Structure 1
Amino acid sequence: MKNITITLDDKTAAWARVYAAKRNTSVSSLVAEMLQQRMKYDQAMRRFLAKAPVKLNRPRKRYPARDELHDRTRLR
């Protein structure tokens, strides 16, 4: 593990201490968890964007009409 130093304004630091205390953890662990979540999100987004787009209709088939898409008679 690496130690890093971050600078927070007083209001943010106070909030972080209270938030971490409510979750019975340290500010350091809280920041590490938030960064890990962001890293996972960014990795998932990169994987998603790397994929080729998927066509919504098959070749030579027409798109459904607006009325067909919004037909709610089956739900009544």
Structure 2
Amino acid sequence: MKNVTITVDDGVIEWARVEAARRGSSVSRMVGEMLAEKMRQEDAYAQAMRNALRFESWGESEGPYLRLSEMR
């Protein structure tokens, strides 16, 4: 684990202290958990984007969508 120093407004740190106490945690642990969750979300989004960009069409049609008769 690494220590970091952050600068926040007085109102933000007051909220963070109250929120951490409500959760039974420290501000440090709460911020670490928030950052870890943000990282997981970004990783999941990036993976979904890679999967979407790899998508290959199942065929061609004359319009923007396959006709029902072409799907059978």
TM-score using structure 1 length:
0.71
Structure 1 letter corresponding to 2:48: F
Q: What's the counterpart of residue 55 of structure 2?
A: 53
| Residue 53 of structure 1: how far off its partner (Å) | 3.2
| Residue 54 of structure 1: how far off its partner (Å) | 5.8
Structure 1 residue 3 and structure 2 residue 3: aligned?
yes
CA distance in 2, matches of 1:19, 1:45: 27
Structure 1 residue 62 and structure 2 residue 62: aligned?
no
Which 4+ runs in 1 deviate beyond 4 A? Answer: none
Report which of the two has the higher share of helix: 2
How many residue pairs align between the two structures?
61
Query: What per-residue deviation string (whole Å, max 9, x for no partner) do you get for residues 25-59 of structure 1?
Result: 0000000000000000011111111112365xx53
Q: Aligned-residue CA RMSD in angstroms?
A: 1.7
TM-score using structure 2 length:
0.75
Q: Percent identity?
A: 41
Q: What's the counterpart of residue 14 of structure 1?
A: 14
Contiguous gaps of at least 5 residues in structure 1: 64-76
Structure 1 residue 27 and structure 2 residue 32: aligned?
no
CA distance in 2, matches of 1:11, 1:53: 46
Q: What's the counterpart of residue 36 of structure 1?
A: 36
